[in-house]
Structure 1
Amino acid sequence: AAATALAAWTAAHTAGALHAPAALDGPDFPRALLPALAAALVFCLTLTALDGGIRATAEGLPLRTAWRGLLGRALAPHLVHGLAGLMMGVLWRSPYGPAAALLVLLPMYVSCWVFAQYHRERAAHQATIRALVQAVDIKDSYTRGHSERVGRASVLIARELGMADDRLDVVRFAGILHDVGKLGVPTRVLRKDGPLTPEERRIIELHPEYGHEMVRGIGFLGEARDAVLHHHERIDGSGYPYGLRGEQIPECARVVAVADAFDAMTSTRSYSRARPVATALAELERCAGSQFDPRMVGALARALDRYGWQTAVTADEPGTQVPAPRAPGPGAAGTTGPAETAEPAKTGEPA
């Protein structure tokens, strides 16, 4: 409400500065077009600037990145509504009187209804994803916060690769939901201290298929469902569940695989301390071409160089004492990477 009020105030001052005519009928009507368009444009720019600031704060993005794409999506609707408002003003002052202006309200109402429906649907999508992620976090406490950070890193990679704006949300959903299949893994296996047996490892390696079964009926996820299924495939074909190699692995899955491994290495867990970002990137580059897509690794390196990375503990509250590393268990970022030194719950990430 405050943002809308501020935008309306700036739009009104813009119209006044351009000496918008007091009367809209007769010869004054064409002259009213320029102030009306300028006011609508300023209204749109103000809201976009405020929305970008809110988005930058919420997602930890630089302002320039947060603003990217917002103006293009908002400009056309605001200009249309600005002209509709001018039309109401013209009709109000016409010989037909205020009743004629009410005719504009019907298409305006339909437009607002469609807009509200879109936002309600989007809110429902977000609520669905939050519920799934919270369920995973409750079951496997060592991964708390991991899903959100993987989603954020996936968006950094996708944006660096030049993916279209409409795909960025899908990539983010893929990163957030990549471990939802852990809900189908027995808790005793997820929280086991020490190495897994071969049978337990086979159970863990079913979690991508469990996750795909859980989300395949959620239509708005699109290609994110493939990423949930294939984010543990490896470029050399030694991953799971299907042993895909190279370009056979969906692009979204290759993005999430790199983001997942990066956060696994840079997060502090109960059983291991976080590695520096530079060390994690060096490990990803070492595994590029065999385990990871080199394009995705390069894109992550460029994005981190440009924007940096905010790390936080996951299994422990910020500021608490991190215990000495325990024997690797199947917590958040299990790996059977090249050196086989990290916990195995999520094979396919570097050690």
Structure 2
Amino acid sequence: MYKALILVFFSTQIFAQTLKEKLVGEWVIDVIKLYDDSPILKDDVRNIKLRYTFMKNDSFRVTINGKTGQGTYKIKKDTLIIANSAYFKVLALDEIKLTILSINVQNQDKALKLSFLPVRFHNLGFTPQTYRTKGQDTIYVSKPNYLEPLFVDAEMSAAQFISANFFFPDYKAGDFYARFIITKLGEIKGIEILNSTHENYNKYLIKAIKASKGKWMPATWEGKPVNAEIKMGFDMGWSDKMALKNQSSATAPKTTIDANESNFYLMQGNINVEEKRYSAAIKNLSKSLEYDPLNIDAYYARAAVFALTKDTQKMCEDLLQLKNLQQVKATELWKKFCDKNKTPSTK
């Protein structure tokens, strides 16, 4: 008995160690899906730029949309634990792919499945642009998620940090475009303002860029640090001003998605369901979908209300809409409860 337990313990340790050996390296996000392989429809999630670097000393570095943080990780059996707070089941790990599934979320139906590529495969086909300075230094042109210096601040991206340190009056609106170089030593060089609506404030933008000193890690290419040029825009209320200026009518129809308003009405609808106020729930959930026609949770919630009120036709219409949005769970429900009847109209 004890020998068997000891064998199980050591075999588990060996398995975890093997996972770690395969995990060490740099991984770039390839695909993000829901736990059941349904596609993510929200652009801000689907198009996230995510990169993990796992080191042998149990530390990691992560860059999410330009924000870089650091911490420690560990592996227990087939579970990857990041910063002692995020738990992922390792579904696949080999030389060409890492797939993990979040397992400590409050609602497992919203768990994400993330697939990564090793950086060497992610970079296949990418050839960086380079040029030489007068001093004959080679400068690489940055490209996000391929070759770029890392801004080490888990709370802010470089653009957010520089904007926060840019002395520009709130009552004004301006647009600025700058370039600068992060050297192979992480230093800031060659700051230049390429375009500006308020040239009197260029010196303050330069000062704000210099304020980011000490927060940069150099870009790397083929395993070596390189000098990299960054071009960065700073929209200080300019787009909003131009949008108001060009707006033809204050009563123009709404054409943009408002996720915050959509989620507000979704929350109200869910409260209505708990109170068994189903008519109010349907009204609020329908309002949620007016603000965001891709709000999957609102479709599921409204379909559930229609089921509770025995309105099978409308329930099937919502399930069909979810099926058309490639949601796996909804497709199974539609086949089970709706497919045996005539396909409901979605008009």
Q: TM-score range by the shorter chain?
A: under 0.3
Normalised by the length of structure 1, the TM-score is 0.27
Of Structure 1 and Structure 2, the greater helix share is in: 1
Of Structure 1 and Structure 2, the greater strand share is in: 2
Normalised by the length of structure 2, the TM-score is 0.27
Larger relative contact order (CA 8 Å, sep ≥ 6): 1
